[in-house]
Amino acid sequence: MSTLRNRKAAVDDSPDAMVYPEVPKRRPSVPPPTPNVTYYAPSFSVAFKLLLAARLIAAILSNISDCDEVFNFWEPTHYLQHGMGLQTWEYSPVYAIRSWTYASLHAGILETIQLLVAKNKLQSFYFCRGVLGAVSAYSEATLYRAVVDEINPRIGRCFLIISIFSTGMFNASTAYLPSTFAMYTTTLAAAFSLATPSRFNTYAVVLSVAAGAIVGWPFSGAVGIPFVIKSLLFTERPLARLRHMIEAGLLALIVIGLPLMAIDHIFYEKWTFVPCNIVMYNVFSGLAKGPNIYGTEPWWFYIMNGILNFNIVFVAALLSFVALAISEVVKKVLGAAGTSHVNPTKRLMLELSPMFLMFAVFSAQPHKEERFLFVVYPLICLAAAVTVYQVRAWIELTLSMNRKLKPYSQQVGAAIVVLFLTISTLLSLSRTTALYTQYHAPLRVYAHTHHLPLPGHDASTNTNTTHLGLFDRELNLCVGKEWYRFPSHYFLPEGMRLRFVKSSFDGLLPKYFEEEEWEGRRAEEVLREGDVKGYVRALRSARRTTSRIPNGMNDENREDPDVYWSIDNCDYMVDFTPKEPLRFRADSKDSNELNYALDERNWEKHYCEPFLDAAKSGRMARAFWVPGGKGKVWGEYCLLRRRGASV
C-alpha cells in the first residue's frame, strides 16, 4: 500500500469534477472552472496518529455492549491463557461453530502483553484493546489515503474527520468480535480496490476479504461481490482479472483456510471447517433453531441504530447513490460526460455498494444485532463524505453561474461542509459521552474486585497478592439478572470465579470448560492440600479439554439447571438496583427477579456506581448527553458483600 500512501494528491478539485479527476472540462458556454489546485490532505502518518489517538481513547472508555463478545471470545481466550473460563454451546465439538484460531490469535497477543507490560489480567485486557485499536487505525488510515489519491482529497479529509469522531467507529474499532476483524479486512480491501487494477491489488483484495470471511465472519465475504463485478465489467482485460481472482482465492484457501482447519482440529480433535458450520446453522437450521430463537427486531432496527451511532452521517450515507446519480445527470446536461470507457460514477457506486448490500441483507433477517453491520462501518463514513462533497459541488457550481455570487461560491461550499461536520461531530461526542457516563458502571464495578481484601491479603502492607496465586480458597462472585453485563474473568483477580444464580432468564447460560487434572489431581484437590503454587500451575499448564462434549449444551437455547449456584455459597454479588420501586422483589409476579442490595440482612454494599435506569428515562435523555440535561432516572450498580463473611 506504499503507492497509495505516498502518491501526491494533486487533482482537479473544481465543482465539475464531482467524482473522479478524469472528468473533462465542460463546454465554453459555461463559466470556466476553478484552475487546478493542490489541496492539502494529511499524510498517511498524520492520519494514522489522529485515528490511533481516537482508538486508544475508545479502548479505555468504550463499553462492552454485547455479551457474545464476552462469552464467545474473551472467556475462551481467558481459558487458553489461564486454564479457566466459561464455555458456550458454540464451542461444543458437536456444533463447532466458533473457531479456536481467532481466540488463539488474541491469546497470543495477550500472552505477549502480559510478558512485556501488563502486571495483571485487567491491564492485559486494556492493552489488548489498544492493539485492536491500532489495527483499526491502520486500516482506516490506509483507506483514507487511497481515497485522497484515487478519488478526491476533499472527500478524504471529510472521511477522516467523520471516522475520528463517529460513535459507531468508537464502539466497533476495539470490540473483540469477528465482525470487527472483518471490518479491518474489509477496510483494507476497499483501499486496494480503489487503486489502479493490477495483479497485486487483485490478490490483496481477495486475500483481505478471504481473511475476514474465514478467520472472522463468513457473511462478510459478500462485500467481495461488487469487486468481482467491477473487475469483470469495468476494467480492461477482464479475463486476466478473473484468472487473478481465482489464483488468489486458491491461495487464500491454502494459506488461511488450511491452517484454520489444522488449529481447530487440535482443539476439537476432528476435521471441521468452522465458517461452513456457521453458515449452515444460521441459514439452514430451520425455524426451531437458528438465530431467530435469540430474538427478532423490526425492519427499521438498523436505520434507528445507524442514526444513533452516526446521526446525520448515516442519512448522508444512505443518500450517496442518489447524490452520485444527480451529479451524473448534471454532468451530462453540462456536456461533461467523460470520454473514458469506465464511468466514474458507476465505479464509485460499486465501491460503496457493499454498505448497501450488507444493510439490505441483514435488514431482511428477523434476528438483528448492531455488530452485524460493523463490517461496513468505515464505508458508511466514506459514503457520507461522498454525499457531502457532491452537495458542495452542486452549491459551488450553482453559485459560480451567477457573476455576483461567483466570488463567494467556494466560501459558501466550504461553510456547508464545516456546518455538516460540526453538527455530526457534536452529536457524536454527545452520544459517546452518554454511553460512557450512563452505562460504564459494570466495568468499573467489576474492576474494583482487584482491590478487594481477598484471602491472601497482606494487612501489614495493605496489598493483595492474589495475582500471584497466594490465596487460601476460591471466592464466588454471583450474578442473577445482570449476568449479561459480566465483562469477563479478566476483570476478576485470580482466586475468584463468576457464578450464576437463578433469575427470570430461562435460556442457556455458559458453563465452565472442564479443567484437566494436574499430576493426577484436580485443581480443587491441589488447593485443598495447600499446594497453592501447584494450583496455579494446574490452571495454567493443564492439558486443554476442548474436545470433550459438555453436558447440557444444546443449539436450541434450552435452559441447563446445572449451571446455577446456590446463593448461600456466594461471597460477593453484583446487581443493579433501580431507584424505584425500592423493594426486594423486582417483580412481584416473578420471585427470581430480586434486588439483592435491599436484602440488608444478608448483603451490604461494598462499592457502587450510578447506572442509568433506561426503562424509566426519556428516550432522548438516554440517547444523548447534554450539559444539565434532564429526564434521566438513575439506579445503582453495586458490588455487594455477604454480611458476616470472613473475606
531 within a domain of the structure (yes/no): no
Same domain (yes/no): 119, 259: yes
Would you state the pLDDT for residue 171?
97
**Residues 498 and 603 reside in one and the same domain:** yes
Kindly state the helix (H) or strand (E) to which residue 283 belongs, with its residue range: helix 274-284
Q: Is there a single domain that holds both residue 416 and residue 475?
A: no
* pLDDT of 10 higher than 80: no
Q: Looking at residue 527, what is its pLDDT?
A: 54
- Give the model's pLDDT for residue 30: 38
Distance CA 231, CA 235 (A): 5
Domain co-membership, 330 together with 463? no
Q: Which residue has the cell 439478572?
A: 481
Residues 411 and 462 in one domain: no
Q: What is the pLDDT of residue 303?
A: 96
Specify the length of the chain in residues.
Answer: 647
Question: Is 582 part of any domain?
Answer: yes
What stretches of 548-645 adopt beta strand conformation (E)? Answer: 572-577, 585-587, 590-594, 603-612, 634-642
Q: Are 174 and 163 in contact (CB under 8 A)?
A: no
Residue 415 lies in a domain: yes
373 is written with which cell numbers?
453491520
Contact 266, 225 (CB under 8 A): no
At 43, is the pLDDT very low, low, confident or very high (cuts 50, 70, 90)? very high
User: pLDDT-based confidence at 27, cuts 50/70/90?
Assistant: very low
Sorted by sequence, the CB contacts under 8 Å of residue 286 that are 6+ apart come out as none
Question: Does 538 map to a domain?
Answer: no
Q: Please, which residues have CB within 8 angstroms of residue 169's CB and are 6 or more apart in sequence? A: 54, 58, 136, 140, 163, 377, 378, 381
| SS3 of the chain: helix, strand, coil, percent, to 5 | 60, 10, 35
414, 439, 464 — which closes off a domain?
439
Same domain, 416 and 492: no
- Is 200 in the same domain as 321? yes
Q: What is the pLDDT of residues 407-458, one digit of tens each?
A: 899 999 999 999 999 999 999 999 999 999 999 999 999 999 998 876 554 4
pLDDT higher than threshold 70 for residue 183: yes
* Predicted pLDDT of residue 585: 63
Per-chain mean pLDDT for the chain: 86
280-335 pLDDT tens trace: 999 887 766 778 888 889 999 999 999 999 999 999 999 999 999 998 888 777 76
Tell me the pLDDT band of 6, cut-offs 50, 70 and 90.
very low
For residue 92, the SS3 value is: coil
The confidence band for 555, taking pLDDT boundaries of 50, 70 and 90, is very high
**Residue 478, H or E segment:** strand 475-479
Final residue before a domain boundary, out of 417, 439, 461: 439
One domain, residues 413 and 463: no
pLDDT of residue 68: 96
Residue 560 belongs to a domain: yes
Taking the complete model, does pTM exceed 0.85, yes or no? yes
Residue 530 belongs to a domain = no
Q: How far is CA 242 from the centre of its chain?
A: 32
Residue in the block written with cell 499448564 = 541
3 state SS of 86: strand
How far apart, in whole angstroms, are the C-alpha atoms of residue 323 and residue 312?
15
Q: Is 58 contained in some domain?
A: yes
Find out whether 73 and 371 touch, Cβ atoms under 8 Å. no
pLDDT in tens, 198-219: 899 999 999 999 999 999 999 9
Examine the domain organization and report whether 418 and 561 are in the same domain.
no
Give the separation between CA 147 and CA 144, rounded to whole angstroms. 5
Q: What is the pLDDT of residues 357-376, one digit of tens each?
A: 999 999 999 999 999 999 99
Whether residue 480 sits in one domain with residue 357: no
In the three-class reduction of DSSP (H, G, I as helix; E, B as strand; rest coil), residue 477 is classed as strand
Q: Determine the Cα–Cα distance for residues 141 and 631; give it in Å rounded to an integer.
A: 39
The last residue of a domain, from among 394, 419, 439? 439
pLDDT at 514: 85
Same domain, 194 and 299: yes
pLDDT single digits (tens) 229-264: 988 888 888 899 999 999 999 999 999 999 999 999
Instruction: State the chain's maximal CA–CA distance in angstroms.
Output: 95
Number of domains in the chain: 2
Q: What is the pLDDT of residues 489-518, one digit of tens each?
A: 999 998 899 999 999 999 999 999 987 655
Span 120-172, pLDDT tens digits: 999 999 999 999 999 999 999 999 999 999 999 999 999 999 999 999 999 99
Q: Residue 529 domain-assigned?
A: no
Q: Which residue, chain included where needed, has cell 452549491?
A: 395
Whole-number pLDDT of residue 582: 59
How far apart CA 10 and CA 148 sit, in angstroms, is 9
- Do 298 and 336 belong together in one domain? yes
476: helix, coil or strand?
Answer: strand
d(CA 306, CA 317) in angstroms, rounded, equals 10
Domain with 398, as residue range(s), is 2-31+39-439
